[in-house]
Structure 1
Amino acid sequence: MKRFFFLLLLSIILASCARVGSPVGGTRDSIPPQVIGSNIDSPRVNVQRDIRELRITFDEYIALKDINKHLIISPPLRKITKILPSGMANKYLLIKWEDTLQENTTYNFNFGNAIVDNNEGNPLGYYNFAFSTGPKIDSLYISGELKSIFKDQEKTTEEGSLVVGLYQEKDSMDYRQKPYYITKADADGYFELNYLSPGNYRILAFEDSNSNSVYDMGKEKVGFMKDKIVLDNSISGLNINLYPSRKSVKYVEMKENPGGILMTFEGNPEKVDVLSLSDKLRDYKVTHKPKSDSVYIWFDATAQNVGVANNENLKFSFDNGVKKDSVSLFYRYNAKNEMVLNNSGGNLLPPGKDFVITSNYFVDKIQPEKWTLVSDSIQQDFRAEIDEKNPFEIHIKSNFKEGKKYSLTIPKETASSFYETTKISKRFDFEADKLENYGEFVLTLENAPTQKFWIQFITERGDIAYSRYVNESKIDFKSLKPGTYELRILVDENNNGVWDSADFADGVFAEPVYIFEKKIEIRPLWDIRETWKLPLNNLETDSATVTPFNKEEITKPLTSENKE
């Protein structure tokens, strides 16, 4: 019996000693794992090209955290077959591949923050392992900072998703492949491309949202230089701005929409011609605003008996200026889709503003002579207009007095679209808000753009709160809601009424963007005045996406130890 208990106790002790895990009690370990050896010894030069693995040994058990997200190998190895540890921790890191290494080439394995100790998760930050198949390790570098010009309203940029790559300049460069050299920016946008060899390169920065290390045109933000980089000395202070990338014009889908069918495209087509190929659908209207991704096809489904009893296969042809094609849709009329007028701006009308009514249908005709605007039981003079730029809006103009309450009545059938009219009367009650609840901002521009431009107030969420399309050097914004805003200017260089994003395929930069250096805080009853001097050469946030950089001689590449 004693022997049984002795064996049981011994088994428990041995199991405890064999387990790899966090110790209980004591001072917390804050020291990251340390490298004590590798299968490629110093000076790590003249490495055989047929080597198929990298093994790095550490002084304690390690784990790999998000290795696929952090690990960057330059030049890229295409056939990685194994990465350890995976699951259970051990004291070495192993990477195996099938590629034959290039001759006279420096390879850099950048692990980011993926290597951590198994006990406390302390990362071995920004660890690089470099070796060369030639007689020396290349030591040039490029460092700088990435900046995303436009805030993303839907998500924030994750650390490690911003990528900078170098392509060797050749007669034929395939940007659908991984860059020859590649690195990831840190949370502040700082990046380093290390262990570079002299040569001519093209630089490309992008938001690698799907973590494939390849720029997906039209889907990811992009920044680039039109001219090549001649790398004979190291480069520091290279600032690259990231802009939305221009999408190619293409058809996306069709779907049933109130009043007809909505056809959507990508790439902001200038013009889309649409024709019905169905015998039953002959009477219809097509509306499309130039540079819009939405094309509306309006028709009276009940009058033409289209999709009323059953699904109707409707066919259309389109010409978007890039492609001609035909598409079809199984359409079913939805009797609930009536023409409806709404007040989407709320019941408080800012001073000096129009009262705006929105419609779910294209507004073709209104009869404002049958409408009434009343305040204190007294009818008020007003004027109603369909907005020229947005025919889904009706603007009510009047001498609105602050603090007064108003009631606008629109009888049924006095607002109509091509084949539909409002079926019910609508009454809108609202109040003209007091000036004391708003602020004013007057901006004076020095070196204002010669072309027309948008000046915009951007909320902390990234939404456009106010926008003006002007060509003036002094702009007065009245009746601004209190809050903190970013101020930016988008220049319409080609005067097409749309700010054009970057087109990497054709080497066309985004149109110029300027960001004011400080936040604008609007307060009630405050009259804020600012002077903004724009750079003459448009280099602060220019369409070329870079600022001037300095070249300097160095003896070793930047690492986490000497990064400022």
Structure 2
Amino acid sequence: MKPIPKYIALLLFIIGFYACAGTGWSPDGGPYDEEPPKFVRATPVPNAVNNTRKNVSIEFDEYINLENASEKVIISPPQREQPEVKTSGKRVVVKFIDSLMANTTYTIDFGDAIVDNNESNPLGQFSYAFSTGPEIDTMAVSGTVLNAENLEPIKGIQVGLHKNLNDTAFTKLPFDRISRTDSRGQFTIRGVAPGKYRIYALQDGNQNYMYDSKTETVAWSDSLIVPDMTPAVRFDTVWNEIDTTHIDTIFEVHYTRFLPDNIMLRAFKEESTMQYLAKSERPETKKFNLYFSAKADTLPTLRGLDFDEKQLIVEANLRNDSITYWVKDTTLCERDTLTIELKYLETDTLGQLVPTTDTLRMVNKIPRERRLAMKKEADEKAEKERKKKEKKGDTLAVQTPFLTINVDAPSELDINRNIVLSFEEPVEHIDTSAIHMQTMIDSVWQDTPFIFQADTIAPRRYIVLANWQPGQEYQLTIDSLGFKGIYGLYTDKVENKLKVKTVDQYGTLFLNITGAGPHAIVQLLNSSDAVVRQQPVKENNTCDFYFLQPGTKYYLRLFNDTNRNGKWDTGNYEEKRQAEEVFYFPKTWEMKANFEFEENWNLYAIPLDRQKPDEIKKQKPDETKKIKDRNKERAKKLGRT
């Protein structure tokens, strides 16, 4: 039989190809790899004892990668010099740099870092251990680390155990066993021997595994940790592949439960007591600012070396760590540099406050030459615009400069609010007789009593208070020249009309609280987790919030105000003082007008790590790695389902 000519064979192939295309067939690369890597062997073998090897090789059944090894791979006990962790084909290779300690269990916890090379299918929670002694320690303890102030999970913080139960061990010695939290703030410390331990969390800035700086976030448990284990049973569910709403099989799984597995650590940064000048700046010609690292009991002493310091007006916050100096003399304002001598208390190397003197040059942000050029350019532009209007025959109005006054007086005023006046520069003189408050009675504006006072916290801010009546109309009038600024400008006339809202425009929340301390405070929060309002818990363990805005989502946080200063306070490790306790109500309220909510709140009914509503958490959990299950999608495309 003669062979088929090549051109006929080619023709038959083309016809066959298009015939297949006509029936909807297309080339397919075959099924996707959905199998995660499988452990094959390791050197030393898992749970080996009396090991002296410093190199570990773990082999799998396919080529693998390590994802975020520096973040996810945890080696315990902690190493002074980090081991080399890398992949080589189907193997993970770990090379220890430090000498191995005698009679010690070493654990390498990979988490979900090991994935296959093709589809990144995760192996899952994989760990490996060996011992340099005749026994291997297999117990574990686990729990959660939360931010003490707002119950946010803390990701990536170290959690360690100390066999040395002295309080100084945390500040003098590295951890004996260590782990690191995941995105949910959860941790597991493996390879733990029987005994008693202290447990700590540490955001270790210098990576020495001990607490030696107040800039580091820290947590500890007041109770000793005693590892234990017990037999346990869990039930695993397999869902029906065709109807995923129905259960196919329930498996009973026997396992060993390691305890404690619910350790709760509340982490915080201590308040810094290191006092030093952190920053000085002159952002505008009229003022300069000084910033200190910690609060102070007194203000620094300032002397002008090339000007009279009496030409300054001082504005300080309540902590005296942020201070603004206004330059009254406009001639001085135009100088590029003002030189000052500053005397203040600074913390020395022994932690003691000592007198310090600095000479500072407060330099204008924009040099005078550049400021003059900018002014000339602005004047020329204004003159050009004036001539243009004059040519058109437009009326030319003379613009009188006034002192800017910001009036916070909305047309619909909340019952529980007051009118606020604020200024962009210090006020030199106030004519209170120029301020008038009137209310509408029988269609006639009539004077009504009010109180005008300076804000005790914010500078250049003033409050107008009155006995606001629901549904009543008011008018605030401030005559021109009522306020005079330090640079000679006066305010223009102000006239604001407003109407106070009625009671039925608000919602109300009543709380019955169980478990609060004797001086607890409840904070009403918005969707940004920011405080809107706060109220102390009454002696009968109730707390009420009135005049809540309808259509607004509210959240609740409570803290036990142990020192009764009206604000949450951090802790101190040296004093063994924990941060003030914080709790969240695990529910959201969307307020309704003319509606009352009454809620019972047991602070301990739900564990701390489940209290804060997910919608206001800023630390969101990482997406759990799963097998991609792409073969079902492939089967559908091929019409095989």
Shared fold by TM > 0.5? yes
- SS at structure 1 position matched to 2:111: coil
* 1:498-554 deviation line (CA, Å, top 9, x unaligned): 42112235432112333335434422221223344567xx99779xxxxxxxxxxxx
> Unaligned regions of 5+ residues in structure 1, if any?
1-22, 543-559
1:460 aligned onto 2:527: yes
Aligned to 1:410: 478
Q: Which residue number in structure 2 is paired with residue 526 of structure 1? A: 595
- Tell me the equivalent position of 1:548: none
Distance 1:496 1:281, change over 3 A: farther
Give the alignment partner of residue 368 of structure 1, picking from 432, 437, 461.
432
Question: By how many angstroms is 1:281 displaced?
Answer: 3.8
Pick one of 319, 322, 346 that aligns with 1:294. 322
Match of 2:134 in 1: 135
Q: Deviations over 1:317-362 (max 9, x none)?
A: 22378454334242439999x9743246755421232122334456
582, 591, 603: which one pairs with 1:513? 582
Determine what percentage of the aligned residue pairs are the same residue.
Answer: 25
- Aligned match for 1:262, one of 283, 289, 299: 289
Larger mean Cα displacement after TM superposition, 270-279 or 317-326:
317-326
Match of 2:569 among 491, 497, 500: 500
Match of 1:556 in 2: none
AA aligned to 1:468 is Q
CA-CA distance at 1:380 after TM superposition? 4.3
1:200-279 matches, within 5 Å, as 200-206=196-202, 217-219=213-215, 221-226=217-222, 228-229=224-225, 234-250=259-275, 251-256=277-282, 260-267=287-294, 269-279=295-305
2:160 aligns to what?
A: 165
Call closer, same or farther: CA 1:528–1:360 in 2, change over 3 Å: farther
Is the aligned partner of 1:332 residue 2:357?
no
Alpha-carbon deviation of 1:294? 2.2
* Contact map agreement 1:445 1:534 (CA 8 A) in 2: yes
Change in 2 beyond 3 A, CA 1:77/1:163: closer
Instruction: Answer whether contact 1:355 1:396 (CA < 8 A) is retained.
Output: yes
Contact 1:387 1:393 in 2 (8 A): yes
Once residues 321 and 204 of structure 2 are traced to their aligned partners in structure 1, the CA distance between those partners, rounded to angstroms, is 25
Query: What is the CA deviation profile of residues 379-421 of structure 1, one whole-angstrom value per residue up to 9, with x for unaligned ones?
Result: 542322212344443222234455666553434553467x567
Determine helix, strand or coil for the equivalent of 2:71.
helix
Is 1:311 matched up with 2:310? no
TM-score, normalised relative to structure 2: 0.68
Three-state SS of the structure 1 residue aligned to 2:304 is coil
The AA in structure 1 aligned to 2:569 is D
In structure 2, which of residues 39, 42, 48 is the aligned counterpart of residue 35 of structure 1? 39
Distance 1:210 1:525, change over 3 A: farther
Alignment of 1:427-466 (within 5 A): 427=494, 429=496, 430-445=498-513, 449-451=517-519, 453-466=520-533
SS at match of 2:35: coil
Say if 2:405 and 2:491, in contact at 8 Å, map to a contact too: no
Q: What is the CA–CA distance in structure 1 between the aligned matches of 2:537 and 2:325, rounded to whole Å?
A: 32
C-alpha distance in 1 between matches for 2:74 and 2:282: 46
Distance in 1 (CA, whole Å) between partners of 2:82 and 2:218 is: 28
Aligned CA distance change for structure 1 residues 450 and 80 (closer, same or farther; 3 Å): closer
Greater RCO, 1 or 2 (C-alpha within 8 Å, sep 6+): 1
The one-letter amino acid of 1:25's match is G
1:69 maps to 71
For 2:379, the equivalent position in structure 1 comes to none
Deviation per CA, 1:417-444: give whole Å up to 9, x if none.
7x56763326364553444442122334
Determine whether 1:90 maps to 2:89: yes
RMSD: 4.0
Correspondence for 2:144: 145
Which residue number corresponds to residue 60 of structure 1?
Answer: 62
Measure how far apart 1:169 and its partner are.
2.0
Contact 1:437 1:525 in 2 (8 A): yes
Q: Distance in 2 between matches of 1:456 and 1:493?
A: 16
Cα distance in structure 2, aligned partners of 1:124 and 1:345: 61
CA contact (8 A) 1:255 1:262 kept: yes
The letter of the residue matching 1:28 is Y
In the TM superposition, what is the alpha-carbon distance from 1:446 to its structure 2 partner? 5.3
CA shift at 1:33, angstroms? 0.9
- Secondary structure in 2 matching 1:146: strand
User: How far did 1:43 drift?
Assistant: 4.3
- The number of equivalent residue pairs is 506
C-alpha change, 1:420 and 1:528, in structure 2 (3 Å) is farther
Superimposed CA distance per residue, residues 144-169 of structure 1 (whole angstroms, 9 cap, x where no aligned partner): 233334449xxx867x4243222342
- Comparing 318-327 and 377-386, the one that deviates more: 318-327
* Counterpart for residue 196 of structure 1: 192
Deviation at 1:70, TM superposition (A): 0.7
What's the CA shift for 1:96?
A: 1.8
Distance in structure 1 (CA, Å) of the matches to 2:211 and 2:495: 50
SS in 1 for 2:433: helix
SS of residue matched to 1:236: coil
Counterpart of 1:204 in structure 2: which amino acid? Y
Partner residue of 2:462 out of 386, 394, 408 = 394
Letter of the 1:410 counterpart: I
Give me the whole-angstrom Cα distance separating, in 2, the residues matched to 1:371 and 1:306: 33
**Are residues 174 and 401 of structure 1, via their aligned partners in 2, closer, same or farther at CA, if it must alter by over 3 Å?**
closer
Conservation of the 8 A alpha-carbon contact between 2:83 and 2:97: yes
One-letter amino acid of the counterpart of residue 521, structure 2: W
Give the deviation of 1:210 after TM superposition. 10
Q: Deviations over 1:110-130 (max 9, x none)?
A: 112211111111122221111
CA contact 2:516–2:560 (8 Å) conserved in 1: no
Letter in 1 for 2:302: S
Structure 2: runs of 5+ lacking an equivalent: 1-26, 230-258, 348-352, 376-401, 610-624, 626-641
1:425 aligns with 2:492: yes
Does 2:549 correspond to 1:481? yes
**How has the CA–CA distance of structure 1 residues 187 and 387 changed in structure 2, closer, same or farther, with 3 Å as cutoff?**
same
Instruction: Give the whole-Å Cα distance in 2 for the aligned partners of 1:42 and 1:161.
Output: 27
Change (3 A) 1:215 1:414: farther
Give CA-to-partner distance per residue, 1:284-325, whole Å, 9 cap, x none: 4544444464233344243xx545222223231223784543
Q: Which moved more, 1:517-526 or 1:114-123?
A: 517-526
Q: Say if 1:70 and 1:112, in contact at 8 Å, map to a contact too.
A: yes
Contact 2:148/2:581, CA 8 A, preserved across alignment: no
Quick one: structure 1 residues 463 and 226, their matched pair in 2 at CA, closer, same or farther if it must change by over 3 Å? same
- Report what 1:26 is aligned to: 30
Change (3 A) 1:534 1:369: farther
Distance 1:248 1:310 in 2: 34
